[in-house]
Amino acid sequence: MSVVCIQENVVDIERLKSEVSVIRREHGGEIQVCINNKGTDNDFTSGNGKSDNPQNFIHMNSRFQGTYISELISDFPEYFRWRIMCIKPKSTYSIHADHYHMEKFYNIRVHIPVITNENSYLVFFDNELGSQGKEMFEYYNLQAGNIYKANTSRLHTAFNFDENLERIHIVGETFTLKEEHHE
């Protein structure tokens, strides 16, 4: 299983939505806003997308200090490079695998859904995609109010087929040695 709910109904979703809404307005509706930086305070963009070393993003941007967001992520001190990530309506991420030093580690992410809908999914593929053929996959609709852990080392994507609503998650990551990790 690629996704596991680790905490149910623990998030004050209205409070979280309110904070995320304000922050996204402050950043012009950007689809990714970094919560952490690698030493330059209030750097909200350098950890977006691919990063040279995600483990460098351990400093909380002062904008987030004292917020409910910082309170939530403080429960996961082994995680770093926290971001607010948005998928616009009728959009999808490219299919990819998160694999920093993949030969030794699994990439594990915590997802805290903020805004979701019945038409947004996190999808994992069993194999590398070929040019033709049938592929097996598993998909998950992560619910706001819960906190999830996902092994994103496999090929995966996220999509939002809703006509009007964005899908917004707060996401942090860590690495687990392959010999120590058991799904």
User: What's the mean pLDDT in 36-52?
Assistant: 86
pLDDT at 117 over 70: yes
User: What's the mean pLDDT in 100-123?
Assistant: 89
pLDDT at 93 over 70: yes
pLDDT band of 51, cuts 50, 70, 90: low
- Give the range of the structural domain holding residue 61, as residue numbers without chain letter: 3-180
pTM for the model stands at 0.91
16: domain CATH number is: 2.60.120.10
pLDDT at 131 over 70: no
What's the pLDDT score for residue 100?
Answer: 63
Sequence-separated contacts (24+) of 55-63 with Cβ below 8 Å: 55/80, 55/81, 55/175, 56/80, 57/81, 57/82, 60/35, 60/36, 61/34, 61/35, 61/36, 61/37, 63/23, 63/26
pLDDT at 9 over 80: yes
What's the pLDDT score for residue 53?
Answer: 80
pLDDT at 159 over 70: yes
Domain count across the chain? 1
What's the pLDDT score for residue 183?
Answer: 53
